[in-house]
Structure 1
């Protein structure tokens, strides 16, 4: 049976005050089952007003799985949003255009790929190109200005390497897809570009391999194998020197891109790691001696958490996981915090064990060094110079958003190549321990994102929690704990105006 993308729109008319807000407010997009919403997002001080969506769409025949804003072309009155669907289609919309509807469909007849979309991203530095991965294990490069073929495309190999091939279409006229990447054997779980120049592309997959490509030259630079099982998530460091991965081996793995080696593995989770992120505001890349920010965090006990669910909205009967979340910031520097203490990277991770872990990767751990063998035969990294400033205040729950939605499963996979990094067992690597490891949910955690004033987590129950950084939240403010907002299935946040920073992966 044919699965089509049909949507009904319900748009909101704005007064002059709202038009002024358009120029400065963040936007957040989320999908709830077969519905997709775009709202204003006002940070940690005011909850989104659920009664006033910027845009609302209800789909028939298929449902959204992921979405991404175009940071290259976004303005206060326009933003391009691509949406991937469970049946393989892709839709391009502009939720801010009120005069006329902007909507284009790609792979509408499913001639290009019939499987579900797992991840999609606008290519940094290219205004009209976006990359899409599917559960089939293929990635396709689309140009928003080109049409899709009216019949299944015929490909010829353009570039080939060990366990990967790049194809081009055999056609007299240029059409989508511009390129097709085949990587390994199975579904690609997630991919991410190294930075605004999109010089490197990293993928993780169900086969447990992290692969790093020179994106423009389409060459495999290196790859790494997990301890065991598949890799579910990855993130680039702000300086693009490190990649952190997590997955089914319950271990955090830090990979040095330039040296092509595993730096260390982190042991703290008791189940699969579902999301990892570098905190760009807490990474110290200079030679100072202090690290400002979270420090040693107290996120409180389960009894101390305040669940403000009275204003929530529910859809459907059952709750299921929020699969991914991505953010973009405007008006703030999405860079490093030049505090103290030499080189130090702050990493966050969440997993199926309901734990939030924060890790500090110091300069001493990044250098090859002698290690100490303990009685348990586990080699521990020497934690020399690891000084963490304990700050007053703690991570507190700002608000919890509630929604009910359908479960969207993410699948993964990739393969091996050139500079092979062997699957180093924990006995051959440094084993890092988390700075903090705290249970913050009752069901498995699926999302972690860092913002300048907070971090955001989401769990299988469907709750999204905004956690204020110490000193960022005014506890006396009446708006600090206002009515909640519920977001389910997937989230994309963007800020429009002077867009200076690339969007991170969800």
Structure 2
């Protein structure tokens, strides 16, 4: 198993179990290989034909490569072995590649590229390509040469894309947009199914929960936003970062479901672990408890009907309705110069004293966990006549507007710690550890506590 990451003009492939060793191979994309571009995103998917690696560039081009061929190249080889070039010479879109993704229902034959212009280009592989050849350029995919690529295009008036993610079953695509919106698109039609607007600035990253019930995003408002897909509303905001949030991710090994209550009125409680990293060089972990109302579920015939949102954090929770606290949350880089001096003395922030060895620690099994006394909010109750007659509420607007600050449900992190010197741009949960990466290319591995204690001698 390998770890692939890009830094500057390089794409590195390193051993998954050791971040301290030198990469197995380091590919450099200089102007002779890719004109006026450097790698800014990549995606891997195991395929039968060996063409399993996509690399997107700042000039809009995308290279299709074989990871196996790169690893089998002679030692010291830093030249990329390219199987195909998509969007050559910026033929279809000259803007930056914000994300490259393999279509989950394409069996490794279809992939898409999200551009900073707001376009999604969908491509199909050329059946004549192979991934086991030498370093020669095998083919160049374009509409002129194949007549089929890109096979479809989706355009949104959203200011451009910053990130994108498929839900686990591949039926929906979430995109984080530069206009501050996060939108849910039906795949492959591209129809907008819903979404929400950030509190401030652009949305920079987005991810799905393992059960596809929640959507989380981060952006220039320094907040982590949690959105209920079934209820079409934002249910919580995570406040803990002091700068832009660069990556969010759910921990699939610490997400669970339990039921409570008597027969016929069981309340389903879902527990989620969410992580985030940002330009403040810190990592935050969030524990969410979502309680669903069975009466609303029975009336609508589908999951949803959120009753309350709670956190198991021991960090002091600010009073959300306090006007003083609302003003204090506005970080200085969001303020005018004359406001920064006043905010510097009025703004105080509490941090959790949790050691890095505790990263990934569970608060107990789903059956033993109980809702914290720090209940953050009770969501709006359904109207009395709706509860009595079972009437379904009207559908919300496709993209919900930003909430006023006094109506936000604020969640504190269960862990907040500075982990890098440079801004942190990536995080990845695995069964054994959490991997984080910063803009300078440093990768760190944080073992889960159980594994850390079991590996100690004696």
TM-score above 0.5:
yes
Cα distance in 2, alignment partners of residues 246 and 281 from structure 1: 21
Deviates more, 1:173-182 or 1:260-269: 173-182
1:28 maps to 2:3: yes
1:224 maps to 2:196: yes
Cα distance in 1, alignment partners of residues 82 and 439 from structure 2: 33
Bigger CA radius of gyration: 2
Which residue does 1:113 correspond to in 2? Answer: 93
Which residue does 1:445 correspond to in 2? Answer: 424
Cα distance in 2, alignment partners of residues 370 and 178 from structure 1: 43
In 2 relative to 1, CA 378–419 (structure 1 residues): closer, same or farther, beyond 3 Å?
Answer: farther
Secondary structure at 1:286 match in 2: strand
Which residue does 1:132 correspond to in 2? Answer: 113
Secondary structure at 2:286 match in 1: strand
Which residue does 2:162 correspond to in 1? Answer: 189
Q: Are the equivalent residues in 2 in contact too, given 1:65–1:117 (CA < 8 A)?
A: yes
Q: How far is 1:463 from its partner?
A: 2.4
Q: Where does the alignment leave 5 or more consecutive residues of structure 1 unmatched?
A: 1-25, 152-172, 289-340, 380-389, 397-416, 479-506
Cα distance in 2, alignment partners of residues 49 and 441 from structure 1: 18
Which residue does 1:343 correspond to in 2? Answer: 270
1:63 maps to 2:46: no
Q: If each structure's helix is expressed as a fraction of its own residues, which one has the higher value? A: 2
- 1:155-197 CA distance string (max 9 Å, x none): xxxxxxxxxxxxxxxxxx84111111111242210111111x3
In 2 relative to 1, CA 239–79 (structure 1 residues): closer, same or farther, beyond 3 Å?
Answer: same
1:267 maps to 2:239: yes
In 2 relative to 1, CA 33–265 (structure 1 residues): closer, same or farther, beyond 3 Å?
Answer: closer
Q: How far is 1:265 from its partner?
A: 1.2
Cα distance in 2, alignment partners of residues 430 and 221 from structure 1: 24
**More relative contact order, 1 or 2 (CA 8 Å, 6+ apart):** 1
Deviates more, 1:95-104 or 1:248-257: 95-104
Q: Number of aligned residue pairs: give it.
A: 343
Deviates more, 1:30-39 or 1:98-107: 98-107
Q: Where does the alignment leave 5 or more consecutive residues of structure 2 unmatched?
A: 75-80, 128-140, 261-267, 293-304, 311-318, 327-353, 361-395
Q: How does 1:17-416 map to 2 (within 5 A)?
A: 26-41=1-16, 43=17, 46-47=18-19, 49-50=21-22, 52-53=24-25, 56-60=27-31, 61=35, 62-71=37-46, 73=47, 78=50, 80-97=52-69, 98=72, 103-126=83-106, 127-145=108-126, 147-150=141-144, 174-195=147-168, 197-287=169-259, 342-364=269-291, 367-369=306-308, 375-376=322-323, 394-395=358-359
CA-based RMSD: 3.4
Cα distance in 2, alignment partners of residues 244 and 51 from structure 1: 32
Q: Are the equivalent residues in 2 in contact too, given 1:221–1:418 (CA < 8 A)?
A: no
Which residue does 1:429 correspond to in 2? Answer: 408
